[in-house]
Amino acid sequence: MVEGTIYLINAKFKYKKKQYKLLEVVWKYQGNKQYTRMRVLEGMKVKQPVTLYDIEIIKELGHENKGILDYIKAKKSDEQRNNTTGAYE
């Protein structure tokens, strides 16, 4: 597994001495085998992130987008709006 890669997986985890299965979930490998999507886990009555084992990779979906920071930094426009029409001058 490559760090930062997003996978579609089947996996198993244990929580309070009980074994659970995750079927066809999206998971990003970040150097550890933690699963932190609480929306999925709360449906199984699990209250904290879990460590996965017996991971079966169904498909590799791609890599995380590291270039998104360029879009986050917005610059204020120096253009003034016309009070009558609202158009930029």
Q: Express each pLDDT in 60-88 by its tens digit.
A: 998 887 766 666 666 777 788 888 888 87
Q: Domain-by-domain residue ranges, the chain?
A: 5-72
Residues whose CB is less than 8 angstroms from the CB of residue 34 and which lie 6 or more positions away in sequence, other chains included:
49, 50, 51, 52
Report the chain's mean pLDDT, rounded to a whole number: 86
Give the dihedral sign, CA 35/41/42/46: negative
Label the pairing between strands 18-28 and 34-35: unpaired
Q: Assess contact for 42 and 8: CB atoms under 8 A.
A: no
| Mean pLDDT along residues 40-54 | 89
Q: Return the percentage of the chain with pLDDT > 70, whole number.
A: 91
